[in-house]
Structure 1
Amino acid sequence: MLDQKVHDESRQGEAYAPGVETVNEFAKKFYIESYGCQMNFNDSEIVASILQNEGFGATRNYEEADFILLNTCSIREKAEQTVRTRLTEFRKLKRGKPGMLVGVLGCMAERLKSKFLEEEKLVDIVVGPDAYRTLPGLIQEAETGQKAINVLLSREETYADINPVRLDSNGVTAFVSIMRGCNNMCTFCVVPFTRGRERSRDPHSIVAEARDLYDRGFREVTLLGQNVDSYYYINGEDQSTNFAQLLEKVALISPLLRVRFSTSHPKDITDEVLYTMAKYENICKYIHLPVQSGSTRVLQLMNRTYTREWYMKKVDRIKEILPGCGISTDIITGFCTETEEDHRDTLDIMEYAKYDLAYMFAYSERPGTLAARRYQDDVPDEVKKRRLTEVVSLHRRHALEGMQQEVGKTLKVLIEGTSKRSEEQLFGRTDQNRVVVFPREHYKKGEYVMVKVNDCTAATLLGEVVEPVEA
């Protein structure tokens, strides 16, 4: 499961409009909202590129759009409810604007295609994650009054030849997709059914995209995949590239280009990856390592393929090879049959790892998953919520303790933009992904600065620049 990573000072919320101003010569305008994971946001950038090549221009204002797209997420029930609400709002807008089309992309497309198209009549077009190239043809079909649909999954599609249009970009950080799909059959997750099997993208196209971003002034790329550690590409000459080798290739573009990645599956991250991270200063020392549960029994029900003891040893190995490495996680409370003892095991493993950042959710059964077919969702909602509250409370304490340990240190920060709280403040992130806010002075986004940390909250470090970093 690849969750959207946000911080206090960076893009927040489940939806966003394109950050590309509409160009007057475009005859038709499109508007995109994206929900859920980073992969969905990256997919929206691919779709924007396809549409712009077909003569559509992006707009921030959905009321002036000829074509509205919602890129959807099925990971949690809340995201689906939000999408339904938005589709209902857009249906009302359509009544006063004949000819406007509404489409659904992504993970909800295949599962709810019949309801959206026929039963509820909320959309005109439904497109799955592997069918974005067919979108222009589907639009033409929908313009004739037909319902247009393509949710076929592919074993080859990686969109490697498409240069994404950077939506709502800060000009400093960008996502680069390195693979699609997932082979892990975690019982709570719908991704293998909505995104298909794993396919790794040609490393040459990945490096070329990252180099182009660097040449255009971007200073950080995040390599994306449902499970980046299982990246493996073989070319026609039987030459292979694994994830550690890909990391090195991207890091070698320039020492000024920071490299991050997400998400890692604990069972697949290797010592080779960790040693590669240690070798290159510009590969950020930060790993998202979802645990999901601290109970071995629950982990087995989830089909996570590791035990709590094995996971704890992986945390030990990360800290041994990469001292000070930031670690974040995902945690689900109230999974099927979870007992109080299981819940205490989760709290215990949190005490052991002391995560810098955590994405914590109460379990919601997703139709079509293995868990929905095999297990009964038998933990009462009030118990799920109470356990989630305890998990959140413990994490907040750990997060604050971790931030307090940074006070007094001088840290290297990549400036990402203006703080949301004040035009006189800038913000950026450290190597370990911690958000830092400091006085603007004469510094600009995209620059590296050394910041002396004077204070903190549980989410943000507060400091002042003591010196810039030489280019």
Structure 2
Amino acid sequence: MTKKLFIKTYGCQMNVYDSERMAGALSAHGYTATDLIEEADLVVLNTCHIREKAAEKVYSELGRVRQLRDRRRADGQDVTIAVAGCVAQAEGEAMLQRAPFIDVVVGPQAYHRLPEMLARRGNRGPGIVDTEFPIESKFDELPDALVPAGPSAFLTIQEGCDKFCTFCVVPYTRGAEASRPAGAILREARTLVQGGACEITLLGQNVNAYRGTAPDGTGWGLGRLVRELAEIPGLARIRYTTSHPRDVDDDLISAHRDVPQLMPFLHLPVQSGSDPILKAMNRKHTADDYLRIVERLRDARPDLALSSDFIVGFPGESDEDFRATLRLVERVGYAQAFSFKYSPRPGTPASLMKKQLRDPVKTERLAHLQELLEVQRRSFDSASIGVQMEVLIERDGRDPGSKVGRSPWLQIVHLEGPDLRVGDLVTVEIEQLHARSLGGRLLGPPAQRGRAA
């Protein structure tokens, strides 16, 4: 009998990718995905530990899932509850002590063992925990990629982090940096393209730290991998995220110059513009290092747009440190950015640092930074008016005949065209500036024809 699987995914694109792979692994054991948690036989919470109070939010959700299971049991049915992801890795056995009704706790490196864990769990005994970092790669054990849900697909090429930024839990929840073999990545990419994807976003905690074994036994960096992916017929767009400034090398910069499929948009987190704060964060680069990298990238690809991450109010951040961040933002000019108030993560060195700032100070600084970043975003979008660009149609719009796509710079673009299909790559002239998106006019037939919606 077919069993129903419901997965709730928190956090980053890598978790989205992991959820898809878990669904693929479980489908071989009789599970079919559902969007309705009320009909699920198995509920998986795929968690993220980056945001503040992440664990508390998961426990709150678990309380609601437990109520669902109680109702199902009253009707003579049951629900198996699994917690996966980074909160599962960080909490481990403590999750069962606090929520003993959980059946399975599984870390990000052990997803391929989830069907086995569910079989072992059965209907008896305490919950099972697997948060080990196994010798075998989960990618070697998981089934091939599923058919993509749309024209854009994610593909994990690297996991883990060796940087140990003092504010970050990733090295403790995802483990050391590890790269997938290039041949496996190319095979998965071809499968995704054959299934209808024409844009692939390469994922990794430090994706440009990729150092994978090539089919001939040599080593490839991200630049070489991008070049090889660009040879796949039908793959029109390549993106990658998230990057670290220390891992931007000459070959990757030249790939931005030489590979037209590599989109002119890069998320390159800097976190702060102050050298003392960058040192306290253990970022291992200075503000000038970052600015020189940006300059080289823009020399290679003049239309390159940048996104970044910023942490405001890191322990010890002075007024001058914050002004240095504002100066860096003004010099770079960002198309978009993500900015947050610093909040301590248990177990990280920064959480134990002295000179923790008061929340009103952090709130005021964040508002100032976000105001500047919003001005830059609006300026970047405004400069698109009158520009002709290729737009990838990703989904239907709200109104009949309308479509929604993405520009090369990840901007949302609204279009009218009843004959357009999801997956079409079309030339558009931008005519309208909306609050968080653009409006465009179709200039011709698709350069690449997508699947019928």
**In the TM superposition, what are the counterparts of 1:310-459 in structure 2 within 5 Å?**
310-373=289-352, 375-376=353-354, 378-419=356-397, 421-457=398-434, 459=436
Tell me how far apart the structure 1 counterparts of residues 416 and 340 of structure 2 sit (CA, whole Å).
35
Aligned twin of 1:306 = 285
**In the TM superposition, what are the counterparts of 1:77-116 in structure 2 within 5 Å?**
77-98=52-73, 99-116=78-95
Aligned twin of 2:176 = 197
Contact 1:172 1:218 in 2 (8 A): yes
Contact 2:183 2:215 in 1 (8 A): no
Aligned twin of 1:9 = none
Query: Alpha-carbon deviation of 1:161?
Result: 5.5
Contact 1:403 1:457 in 2 (8 A): no
Would you say 1:139 and 2:139 are equivalent positions? no
Contact 1:115 1:121 in 2 (8 A): no
Calculate the TM-score normalised by the size of structure 1.
0.90
Which deviations, in whole Å up to 9, do the C-alpha atoms of 1:139-159 show, x marking residues without a partner?
A: 123322321110001355251
Whichever residue aligns with residue 399 of structure 1, its letter is R
Query: Alpha-carbon deviation of 1:166?
Result: 4.9
SS in 2 for 1:267: helix
Which deviations, in whole Å up to 9, do the C-alpha atoms of 1:354-406 show, x marking residues without a partner?
A: 11111111111111212224x13611112112211111111111000001111
SS in 2 for 1:131: helix
SS in 1 for 2:248: coil
Alpha carbons of structure 1 residues 255 and 267: separation in structure 2 relative to 1, 3 Å: same
Alignment counterpart, residue 287 of structure 1, candidates 263, 266, 287: 266
SS in 1 for 2:444: strand
**In the TM superposition, what are the counterparts of 1:211-222 in structure 2 within 5 Å?**
211-222=190-201
Query: Alpha-carbon deviation of 1:74?
Result: 0.7
Alignment counterpart, residue 257 of structure 2, candidates 278, 295, 305: 278
Would you say 1:150 and 2:150 are equivalent positions? no
Query: Paired residues, what number?
Result: 443
Alpha carbons of structure 1 residues 160 and 446: separation in structure 2 relative to 1, 3 Å: farther
Query: Alpha-carbon deviation of 1:123?
Result: 1.8
SS in 1 for 2:45: strand
Contact 1:173 1:220 in 2 (8 A): yes
Calculate the TM-score normalised by the size of structure 2.
0.93
Tell me how far apart the structure 2 counterparts of residues 170 and 138 of structure 1 sit (CA, whole Å).
28
Aligned twin of 2:6 = 31
Aligned twin of 1:470 = 447
SS in 2 for 1:468: coil
Query: Alpha-carbon deviation of 1:119?
Result: 2.5
Tell me how far apart the structure 1 counterparts of residues 176 and 136 of structure 2 sit (CA, whole Å).
9
Query: Alpha-carbon deviation of 1:137?
Result: 2.1
The percent of aligned pairs where both chains have the same amino acid is 35
Contact 2:183 2:214 in 1 (8 A): no
Aligned twin of 2:152 = 173
Query: Alpha-carbon deviation of 1:428?
Result: 1.0
Contact 1:214 1:257 in 2 (8 A): no
Tell me how far apart the structure 2 counterparts of residues 458 and 81 of structure 1 sit (CA, whole Å).
33
SS in 1 for 2:362: helix
Alignment counterpart, residue 117 of structure 1, candidates 87, 96, 114: 96
SS in 1 for 2:233: coil
Bigger drift between 334-343 and 236-245 goes to 236-245
Contact 1:54 1:136 in 2 (8 A): yes
Gaps of 5+ in 2: 449-453
Whichever residue aligns with residue 60 of structure 2, its letter is T
Aligned twin of 2:18 = 43
SS in 2 for 1:355: coil
Alignment counterpart, residue 228 of structure 1, candidates 204, 207, 225: 207
Aligned twin of 1:11 = none
Alpha carbons of structure 1 residues 81 and 422: separation in structure 2 relative to 1, 3 Å: farther
Whichever residue aligns with residue 285 of structure 2, its letter is Y
Whichever residue aligns with residue 397 of structure 1, its letter is V
Which deviations, in whole Å up to 9, do the C-alpha atoms of 1:269-308 show, x marking residues without a partner?
A: 1221121122121111111100111111111011111111
Which deviations, in whole Å up to 9, do the C-alpha atoms of 1:451-471 show, x marking residues without a partner?
A: 111121352111110113434
Aligned twin of 1:17 = none
Contact 1:155 1:196 in 2 (8 A): no
Would you say 1:159 and 2:139 are equivalent positions? yes
SS in 2 for 1:51: helix
Contact 1:160 1:201 in 2 (8 A): no
Tell me how far apart the structure 2 counterparts of residues 51 and 170 of structure 1 sit (CA, whole Å).
18
Tell me how far apart the structure 2 counterparts of residues 429 and 377 of structure 1 sit (CA, whole Å).
43
SS in 2 for 1:397: helix
Tell me how far apart the structure 2 counterparts of residues 210 and 165 of structure 1 sit (CA, whole Å).
9
SS in 1 for 2:283: coil
Tell me how far apart the structure 1 counterparts of residues 67 and 234 of structure 2 sit (CA, whole Å).
51
Which deviations, in whole Å up to 9, do the C-alpha atoms of 1:179-234 show, x marking residues without a partner?
A: 11111111111010111111110111111111111112111000111111111123
Query: Alpha-carbon deviation of 1:171?
Result: 1.6
Tell me how far apart the structure 1 counterparts of residues 242 and 288 of structure 2 sit (CA, whole Å).
21
Would you say 1:74 and 2:49 are equivalent positions? yes
Tell me how far apart the structure 2 counterparts of residues 451 and 262 of structure 1 sit (CA, whole Å).
26
Contact 1:116 1:122 in 2 (8 A): no
SS in 2 for 1:69: strand
Gaps of 5+ in 1: 1-24
Bigger drift between 377-386 and 260-269 goes to 377-386
Answer 1 or 2: higher relative contact order, Cα 8 Å, separation at least 6: 1
